[in-house]
Structure 1
Amino acid sequence: MQITRSSVATAKGPADWFTGDVWIDAVAAAPSPSRVSANLVHFMPGARTHWHRHVLGQTVFVTEGVGLCQRRGGPVEVIRPGDRVLFEADEEHWHGAAPDRLMVHVAINEGDDDHDVVQWLAPVTDDEYLAASASD
């Protein structure tokens, strides 16, 4: 058993990964041979990731608020507490808060020496993001 005391400060999400105010807390980062990492991510209203993909996939579990997510070519989906979203391996997607609500989720990822955890792509445009109002 290993207990890691909370000593890592909450990190501001970098502007080359996110639009808007996003805050990240590390949850899990087990040493090799584990490939799993997890972060608790707080999205302020209107904040969202850029388009991105995970070679080994990603699961997000919503814990608070109301969020939005979309896979490339699909509709914008509304997500709420208790919802679990699986993004398939290499599936381009984004996720974030609704325009008027915050959203918090646990992001669970895999990565190893041969696979980066994430590949960041272009920002989600306001038009792409605001397309959510049609599906809310």
Structure 2
Amino acid sequence: MRIRTLATAGAVALAGFGVSLGTAGSASAAEYCTTGYACLYYNSDFKGAFYRQYFDIPNYAGYYFSASAAGSAGAGVAVKNNTASVDNWDFDWGIRQYFNSNYGGASQGIPAGGAANLNGDLKNDNASGKFYR
């Protein structure tokens, strides 16, 4: 699992100034995928709502899609078993989507800087995601 000390230090600093940081947060319709994140999309071809993943997640239960610049279809829907495509804006790490929780079962890797529609085994059947080198 990647440690994000800079992000943690920034969050601590902002919290010290009384700025509230939400863990799930909601994206506005103008939200884009940005460098350092793998973005999971509700629809194929990187359309609809998305979830920006920044760290390994052994179980997508409790994580939800937010509206994106690519649309709001799927906003508020659980990420687990509802992802159709992945756009990886992390240019150092690939991300692998897994059929089962805890990184098990069928999987599909999306390389650093890559993007793909999930294959038939994983489309709308993803349960966890882990970054890899």
Return the TM-score normalized by structure 1: 0.33
Greater per-residue strand proportion: 1
Return the TM-score normalized by structure 2: 0.33
Greater per-residue helix proportion: 2
Greater length-normalized contact order (CA 8 Å, ≥ 6 residues apart):
1
